[in-house]
Amino acid sequence: MRVLYFALLRERVGVAEETVSPPSEIRTVGDLVDWLRRQSPQHDHALADPAMVRVAVNQDYARPDHAVAPNDEIAFFPPVTGG
């Protein structure tokens, strides 16, 4: 699974992207976020506030109950505003 981090989340995690292999019980975006938060203090800090994190699965916005699969690309980014 390819995981991408953008903007402030990239700064907090310390990498722009990583390849992860979560256990098979990780089936949703919410499961993945919980699992990633346990991987390091940096991940925990970056993903701690759900209001400040948006997620896309294979370039489509996704909610916490959206399914994830081993070959997916998951992107984490802060809320985007227009103007």
pLDDT in tens, 6-53: 999 999 999 999 999 999 999 999 999 999 999 999 999 999 999 999
Name the residue among 6, 14, 22, 20 with its Cα closest to residue 42: 14
| Beta pairing partners, 75 | 4, 56
pTM of the model: 0.94
What would the CATH number be for the domain defined by 2-77? Answer: 3.10.20.30
